[in-house]
Amino acid sequence: MVQPSSLINEHRDHPALGIWTFIGNLLLMALLSAAVRELVNRDYPLSEVLLFRYLFASVFFWVILLSTAGLAGLATQRPLDHAIRSISGIVSLGLLYFAITRIPIADATALAYAAPIFITVLSIFLLGEVIGMQRWLAVIAGFIGVLLIARPEADGWNIGVIAAAGSALTGAMVAIWLRKLSSSEKSVSIGIYYNNLGCLVCLLWVIWSGWLTPRGTDLWLFLGFGLGCGMQQWLLTVSFRYAEASLLAPFEYLAMVFAAIVGFVFWDEVPVVTTWIGGAIIAASGLFIFMRRQKRKSPSAPADAVVIE
């Protein structure tokens, strides 16, 4: 899911490096989506795939924590906010991975990137923000884009479409709670609490649903997936270290293009015209909402960045 947050506190000005590492992160995300589908297609439970993801991501954040703030960085006075952010993130990522196994990867990715639209609406109720007419028009346009991709039929919506939309909605919840937490909490501690809770939840899920020991070369696919998750987190961190969020935001929607390429290469999936049109509308509305929010911020306010679960 897509969420605004600042990954690290130190910023160094090297925009070209920031852009290329951000694009690398997006490409790796598309490949990880392919790995998720392939593992589930080989009959591995989704809970097991998620457990590998959270284990490797947890190692990544523990390395950062111990090499910077140390265990003191875990101190917090906002456990409830961490819990809400973490649970929302776990649900969002779980729904996205489920959607990837049920609908074309390009469709699932495009729908997940509708999160800024939900953020705008939820901010009215959860943050007390006032939304102007222009942003409301962007929200309406974004929902039209979602409907174009979803293509609801007379017999109802595809369960994969519902899961992807649910991932965007819960991803918006994550974004709002990250905005709340970022005022007092270290980004690395937010990552630690989220990924550790993800490990615990998925471990309990695996115990309940059953564990399938990786067979033969599948073990390498699992390890590659886990290492890829850690690498994606590293690339994302580096990108926001060297470039501002406002510079990276336009590149974010390349994820839809990469997802379409991966879907075509591995499964001969060709996005229909309405997926491209809907994705373009969602991207345009999301960028417009982002730019309007940046204009409304005070110069001293931290810039939003985009974090993919």
Task: Please state the pTM of the whole predicted model.
Answer: 0.87
CA distance 28 to 145: 25
CA distance 183 to 163: 31
Q: In the chain, how many domains are there?
A: 1
pLDDT computed for residue 5 by the predictor: 42
The answer to whether residues 167 and 92 touch, using CB atoms and an 8 Å cutoff, is: yes
Domain that holds residue 117: 2-308
Q: At 307, which helix (H) or strand (E)?
A: strand 306-308
Q: Note the maximum CA span of the chain.
A: 57
Contacts of 191 (CB under 8 A, 6+ apart): 57, 61, 64
- Looking up tokens 């495009």, which residue turns up? 110
Q: Per-10-residue mean pLDDT for the chain, 309 residues long?
A: 43 80 92 95 94 91 86 87 94 95 92 88 83 87 88 70 93 88 83 93 94 90 90 83 80 90 92 90 88 64 44
pLDDT computed for residue 150 by the predictor: 83
C-alpha dist (Å) from residue 188 to 25, 62, 172, 179, 255: 18, 8, 20, 14, 24
pLDDT computed for residue 77 by the predictor: 86
pLDDT computed for residue 304 by the predictor: 45
pLDDT computed for residue 302 by the predictor: 41
The closest of 176, 107, 141, 151 to 282, measured between CA atoms, is 141
> In 3-state terms, what secondary structure has residue 2?
strand
pLDDT computed for residue 309 by the predictor: 58
Three-state SS for 163-183 is: HHHHHHHHHHHHHHHHHHHCC
CA distance 278 to 111: 9
The closest of 37, 29, 69, 68 to 236, measured between CA atoms, is 29
Tally Cβ neighbours within 10 Å of residue 224. Answer: 13
pLDDT computed for residue 165 by the predictor: 92
pLDDT computed for residue 11 by the predictor: 52
The answer to whether residues 96 and 164 touch, using CB atoms and an 8 Å cutoff, is: yes
CA distance 129 to 46: 37
Strand residue runs (E) in 44-191: none
Tally Cβ neighbours within 10 Å of residue 17. Answer: 15
pLDDT computed for residue 53 by the predictor: 93
pLDDT computed for residue 299 by the predictor: 45
